[in-house]
Amino acid sequence: MSEPVLSRFLRLIAFDTQSSETSGLHPSTPGQKVLADALASEFRAMGVSCRVTEQACLYAEIPATEGLENLPALGLIAHLDTSDAVSGKDVRASVVTWEGGDIPLGKSGLTVRPPDRMKGMRIVVTDGTTLLGADDKAGIAEICTFCERILEEKRPHGPLKIAFTPDEEIGEGTLFFDYAGFGAKFAYTLDGGAIGGIEYENFHAARAKVCVSGLSAHPGGAKGRMFNAQTAAMEFHSLLPPAEVPEHTSGREGFYHLCAMKGDVSYAELDYLLRTFDSDDMENRKNLLLSAASFLNKKYKREAFRVEIADQYRNMREFIEKVPFLTEHAFEAMKRAGVTPFTSLIRGGTDGAKLSRNGLPCPNLCTGGYGAHSRTEFACVEEMESCVQILLNLADVFREHAVRA
Ligand SMILES: [Zn+2]
């Protein structure tokens, strides 16, 4: 008998795999390698061949059922690490059958209120001192359970390719990704939230550094001589649209986010994140920064402002739209599991966006985890079970379509 997704999930969240933006190592923390090795042993015990790289990326593959070797390979990807925002060490989870009302999290004073549709379902919560780690150990548990079940039930399937990547939360999950070795031409990441969710649109992202050169002078004798870089930087910022900031935008709206500033009289720096779903709009945003700088340079008759812009990641929509069957098949797999599919926007980046840009189109599927990166993170057991069923159905849908084609 295959292991229930819940007990597998509870085993996985006991591993501390918080990634670190500052260690400079690959993987950024040793716990991720420990988890990858443990998962490799589990795969081998199932009879699935796999390897773990030095950078803690796990690749596993299940060969196609005899006669289906020519089917296109189906790739499934999840990440090993947890957010560096909240500790994931010594997670003390409990499973509550929810009958309504707030679920208290240990003695922390925090509570969780699941959506009404989860009444009577089992909810996995923390004690309020750590995150849960459903992001993304729910995804890993679901993929492993799927593998175990497809083998046990002897369901016919095409080639299956699995990857568990490190350091997704610090944006380095695809740094060492072995595209050729992975062996699939498309994949799904299991790194989403609410059941039924499919995500294939994320931000276009760029970073802009505005450098302001000032001129220092003794304040007592500065008249007509000092050029204060800090006040000049504030003037620059005042030229940007005040409503287009993270705290005033949602849905499809983009923003300029002043994420850091520093300075003194002689030099100041403003760091902006530019975000939008539309590539033309991204160009407009970059141009606004450049024209604000040139306006102020003219106004003060000095080359005080300089803008450096670097692209970060792209909206994956343009890559996913070229392979529409990926979303169509996921919709079909969900409907067969009795789940109503819906698409949602990722107001951020994802490893799937980088994979898609590098030629591995990769929409993101739900996991049944909620409240990621927080102490109120929780997971719904019945939804995690549905996610396993969705993966089984997905393998069926791919087989049926390929056989028909
Ligand atoms: Zn995640």
Average pLDDT over residues 216-220: 97
Confidence of residue 404 (pLDDT cuts 50, 70, 90): low
**Separation of 185 CA from ligand 1 center, angstroms?**
22
Give the residue from 313, 339, 355 where a domain finishes. 313
Q: Does pLDDT of 400 surpass 90?
A: yes
Q: Are residues 29 and 123 in the same domain?
A: yes
Average pLDDT over residues 340-362: 93
Q: Does pLDDT of 28 surpass 90?
A: yes
Among 168, 169, 244, 377, the active-site one is: 168
Q: What percent of the chain has pLDDT over 90?
A: 96
CATH code for the domain of 291 = 3.30.70.360
Confidence of residue 402 (pLDDT cuts 50, 70, 90): confident
For residue range 257-313, what is the model confidence (pLDDT) as tens digits?
999 999 999 999 999 999 999 999 999 999 999 999 999 999 999 999 999 999 998
Average pLDDT over residues 326-348: 96
Is residue 81 annotated as a catalytic residue, yes or no?
yes
Q: Does pLDDT of 75 surpass 60?
A: yes
Range of the domain at 95: 5-202+315-404
Residue 329: what pLDDT? 98
Q: Are residues 330 and 395 in the same domain?
A: yes
Q: Are residues 64 and 178 in the same domain?
A: yes
Predicted structure pTM score:
0.89
- Within 13 Å, how many C-alpha atoms sit on residue 152's CB side? 12
Collect all residues with Cβ–Cβ distance below 8 Å to 154 and sequence separation of at least 6: none
309 φ, ψ (degrees, to nearest 5)? -120, 135
Alpha helices (runs of H) in 202-256, residue ranges in sequence order: 229-238
CATH code for the domain of 368 = 3.40.630.10
Compute the Cα dihedral for 83, 8, 188, 113 and give only its sign. Answer: negative
Among 42, 81, 377, 385, the active-site one is: 81
Residue 1: what pLDDT? 78
Average pLDDT over residues 223-230: 97
Which of helix, strand or coil describes residue 49? strand
**Separation of 156 CA from ligand 1 center, angstroms?**
30
Token pair in block for residue 56: 């803690």
**Separation of 50 CA from ligand 1 center, angstroms?**
22
Q: Does pLDDT of 367 surpass 90?
A: yes
Token pair in block for residue 85: 């925002």
Q: Does pLDDT of 383 surpass 90?
A: yes
Residue 108: what pLDDT? 97
Residue 403: what pLDDT? 66
Q: Which amino acid is at 178?
A: D
CA distance between the termini of the chain: 34
Token pair in block for residue 35: 């988890």
Average pLDDT over residues 180-209: 96
Q: Are residues 173 and 253 in the same domain?
A: no
Residue 288: what pLDDT? 98
Residue 59: what pLDDT? 98
Pick from 104, 146, 108: which is nearest to 389 by CA? Answer: 146
For residue range 31-52, what is the model confidence (pLDDT) as tens digits?
999 999 999 999 999 999 999 9
Q: Are residues 164 and 214 in the same domain?
A: no
Partners of 317 in the β-ladder: none
User: How far, in Å, CA of 84 to CA of 169, rounded?
Assistant: 7
- C-alpha separations of 140 from 17, 119, 213, 219, 225 in Å: 13, 25, 49, 61, 62
Count of domains for the chain: 2
**Separation of 151 CA from ligand 1 center, angstroms?**
27
Q: Are residues 39 and 101 in the same domain?
A: yes
**Separation of 403 CA from ligand 1 center, angstroms?**
33
Token pair in block for residue 387: 């996610």
Which of helix, strand or coil describes residue 308? strand
| Strand 255-263 versus strand 342-346 pairing type | unpaired
Contact between residue 388 and residue 380 where contact means Cβ atoms under 8 Å apart: no
For residue range 137-177, what is the model confidence (pLDDT) as tens digits?
999 999 999 999 999 999 999 999 999 999 999 989 999 99
Structure letter (DSSP) for residue 136: H
**Separation of 376 CA from ligand 1 center, angstroms?**
15
Give the residue from 313, 347, 362 where a domain finishes. 313
What burial letters (b/e) apply to 173-210, b meaning 16+ CB within 10 Å?
bbebbeeeebebebbbbbbbbbbbbbbbbbbbbbebeb
Q: Does pLDDT of 29 surpass 90?
A: yes
**Separation of 208 CA from ligand 1 center, angstroms?**
26
Is residue 303 annotated as a catalytic residue, yes or no?
no
**Separation of 272 CA from ligand 1 center, angstroms?**
24
Dihedral-angle region of residue 301 (phi above 0 means left; psi in -120 to 50 means alpha; beta otherwise): left
**Separation of 366 CA from ligand 1 center, angstroms?**
11
Q: Are residues 55 and 183 in the same domain?
A: yes
Collect all residues with Cβ–Cβ distance below 8 Å to 238 and sequence separation of at least 6: none
Q: What percent of the chain has pLDDT over 70?
A: 99
